Amino acid sequence: MAKSTLSFVCQNCGAAYNRWQGKCDACGEWNTLAEEDSAAVPVSIRSRRKGRTFQLESLSGKSQDAPRLASGMAELDRVTGGGFVRGSVLLLGGDPGIGKSTLLTQATSLLARAGHRAVYISGEEAIAQVRLRAERLGLSDAPVQLASETSVEDIISTLSEGAVPRLIVIDSIQTMWTDTVESAPGTVTQVRASAQALIRFAKKTGAAIILVGHVTKDGQIAGPRVVEHMVDAVMSFEGEGSQQFRILRSVKNRFGPTDEIGVFEMTGLGLREVSNPSELFLSERDLGSPGTAVFAGIEGTRPVLVELQALVAPTSLGTPRRAVVGWDPSRLSMVLAVLEAHCGVKLSGHDVYLNVAGGLRIQEPAADLAAAAALVSSLVNAPLPTDAVYFGEVSLSGAVRPVAQTAARLKEAAKLGFGRAILPESARGEAGGDAGLALNSVGGLSTLVAEIAARGSRRPQRETATVEKNATPARFRRQDG
């Protein structure tokens, strides 16, 4: 007798269970289990007894064409690692309305204009809607091949005819369905089977495929994480709703770097590439107000200057608030602990807010020094010098540790007209003789804190400034040494 193949599959992570339960043990989500046929294997494959033989190849074989296809959008190519790889499948995730369809309409149009066969399959929008967008973007004349379809079999049959498309956009994978499995569209089994079929098509023909994936509230690509494992690259398109900047980030890439970002600006005429993000992130600087510090960071291979904004305000709450946007909250806790333990900065009676301007998300520990400077500057109500940039990692002992790519950071700062850099002592040598700006090296965080506190004491003091009176540079130099 054929075994029953019905099982309960978590729609969030894809874990399968024999019986229904309220909570998925694998990912901890509630109410995500749905009944599905787990024998998600096409009937044609199941019934085949004996495999066919195939040709084994050598490593040194020639591929017919250039392995990469540059899209012509420099910011997009930067993130993919130089263009779309033949036969690869890329998953693009992002919140609804962030601009995924816009980005891909622009990319397919550029490729089509350059003479490549580019196909855009929309499962969400009618042809008229896609045309309307193209019209708005001024791309109506691009010879993109467009369809509004959701059946994977129909799509594959159609695309198998004629020349192999160089790029196929599937917007979105959650709307696709295949006959080979019985579940409803959008379920894990359907999404997985549809993705599998499309991936097989890409590998067989050499077409590059981009799958658009929806993102749930907590930022995961909705439905199966399994799709992330199946594809060659995962990119996420991010941005703050209220801001025009959009950041394309590579999360996984089998053929390129994963730390590169591409920066775009959403305009009335579509996405505009931002080739110098520092200028953008610093364009609306609040010069001369306390609590802001410019961090000289590195995103991938590119230096990016961005403003960190801190607000330290007295609180009546027993447990003060610590809120951070754009940076790791545990890094903030660590910097606050070091400020308390080694620099005599009392923050237990204060709420602390930290924000990275422009919607950028920083992952580098090198931002420690800039964050600390912004925090202390807000606490003592003393603005930092407007022509200074900060970078350096703070260790638990309060020492300021060197970070990578000092020279690139300094070069970018000098290019944007900054006059001095506050940086780790040991980074001085790496900076080279002619950095183009004054270098203030700090060995310990307490030295910097004392300097900022001294600036604060020359200004009218707020009552809340609580850097201890004896926090003099001399005292801390002794401690550090």
Nearest-angstrom CA–CA distance, 180 and 190 = 9
Task: Tell me how long the chain is.
Answer: 481
Q: Is 71 left (phi over 0), alpha (psi -120 to 50) or beta?
A: alpha
Residue from 102, 109, 174, 220 in contact with ligand TYD (CB under 6 A): 102
- Nearest distance from residue 104's CB to ligand TYD, in Å? 8
Closest CB to ligand TYD among residues 134, 324: 134
Q: Which residue has the tokens 């447990």?
A: 319
Can you tell me the distance from the alpha carbon of 303 to that of 322, in angstroms, rounded to the nearest whole number? 28
- Rank residues 268 and 417 by Cβ distance to ligand TYD and give the closer one: 268
Say whether the peptide bond before residue 172 is cis (omega within 30 degrees of 0).
Answer: yes
Q: Which of 309, 338, 311 is nearest to 326 (CA)?
A: 309
Q: CA quadruple 122, 124, 127, 133: dihedral positive or negative?
A: negative
Alpha-carbon span 249 to 236, nearest angstrom: 5
DSSP string, 133-182: HHHHTT-TTS--EEE---BHHHHHHHHTSSSPPSEEEEE-GGG-B-TTS-
Nearby residues of 329 by Cβ (< 8 Å), 6 or more positions away:
322
Please identify, among the stretches 129-137, 277-285, 426-434, 461-469, the one whose residues bind ligand TYD according to the rule CB under 6 A.
129-137
Residue 168 or 335 with smaller CB distance to Mg ion: 168
| Nearest distance, CB of residue 285 and ligand TYD, angstroms | 25
Q: Indicate the residue among 147 and 416 with the shorter CB distance to Mg ion.
A: 147
Q: Is 82 within 8 Å of 72 (Cβ atoms)?
A: no
How many whole angstroms separate alpha carbon 281 and alpha carbon 191? 38
| Sequence-distant (≥ 6) Cβ neighbours of residue 276 within 8 angstroms | none
Is residue 128 a contact point for ligand TYD (CB under 6 A)? no
End-to-end CA distance of the chain: 78
In the complex, minimum distance from the CB of residue 171 to Mg ion, in angstroms, rounded to a whole number: 6
Which element (helix H / strand E) includes 330? helix 329-343
Q: Cβ 420 to ligand TYD, closest distance in Å?
A: 39
Candidate list 12, 32, 38, 101; residue touching ligand TYD; CB under 6 A: 101
Q: Give the CB-side neighbour count of residue 328, counting CA atoms within 13 A.
A: 11
Q: Which is nearer to ligand TYD, 239 or 383 (CB)?
A: 239
Q: Which is nearer to ligand TYD, 175 or 180 (CB)?
A: 175
Q: Report if residue 100 touches ligand TYD, rule: CB under 6 A.
A: yes
Does residue 133 interact with ligand TYD by CB under 6 A? yes
Which residue's C-beta sits nearest to Mg ion?
Answer: 101
With contact defined as beta carbons under 8 Å apart, do 376 and 400 qualify?
no
* 429 touches, from Mg ion, ligand TYD, none (C-beta below 5 to 8 Å by class): none
143 counts as binding ligand TYD under rule CB under 6 A: no
Which of 93-101, 175-183, 289-297, 459-467 is the region at the interface with ligand TYD (rule: CB under 6 A)? 93-101
If one asks whether residue 115 binds ligand TYD (CB under 6 A), the answer comes out as no
Nearer to Mg ion, 32 or 101 (CB): 101
- Distance of closest approach, residue 106 Cβ to ligand TYD, in angstroms: 9
Structure tokens at 330: 């545990």
Q: Would you count residue 98 as binding ligand TYD (CB under 6 A)?
A: yes
330 to 260, 307, 368: CA distances (angstroms): 23, 20, 11
d(CA 306, CA 357): 7
> What is the footprint of ligand TYD within residues 260-279 (CB under 6 A)?
266, 268-270
Phi, psi (degrees; rounded to nearest 5) at 298:
-130, 125
Which residue in 68, 113, 136, 322 binds ligand TYD (CB under 6 A)? 136
Taking CB under 6 A as the rule, does residue 137 contact ligand TYD? yes
- Distance between CA atoms of 68 and 290, rounded to whole angstroms? 48
Q: Which does 137 bind (CB under 5 to 8 A by kind): Mg ion, ligand TYD, none?
A: ligand TYD
Q: How far is the CB of 124 from Mg ion (least distance, A)?
A: 6
CB of 238 to ligand TYD, least distance (A): 11
Q: Which does 268 bind (CB under 5 to 8 A by kind): ligand TYD, Mg ion, none?
A: ligand TYD
Query: Does 175 help bind Mg ion (rule: CB under 5 A)?
Result: no
Which residues on adjacent β-strands are paired with residue 132?
A: none
Angle CA 307–261–396, to nearest 5: 55
Contact positions with Mg ion (CB under 5 A) in 93-132: 101
Should residue 93 be labelled a site residue for ligand TYD when binding is judged by CB under 6 A?
no
Of the pair 168, 421, the CB lying nearest Mg ion is at 168
12 versus 101: smaller Cβ distance to Mg ion: 101
Contact between 94 and ligand TYD per CB under 6 A: yes
Round to whole Å and give the CA distance between 33 and 24: 7
Nearest distance in Å: CB 111, ligand TYD: 17
**Residue 117 binds ligand TYD, judged by CB under 6 A:** no
CA–CA separation, 267 and 88 (whole Å): 30
Q: Which stretch binds ligand TYD (CB under 6 A): 91-99, 218-226, 283-291, 373-381?
A: 91-99
Q: Which is nearer to ligand TYD, 134 or 197 (CB)?
A: 134
> Which stretches of the chain bind Mg ion, using CB under 5 A?
101
Chain residues that interact with ligand TYD, rule: CB under 6 A:
94, 96-102, 133, 136-137, 266, 268-270
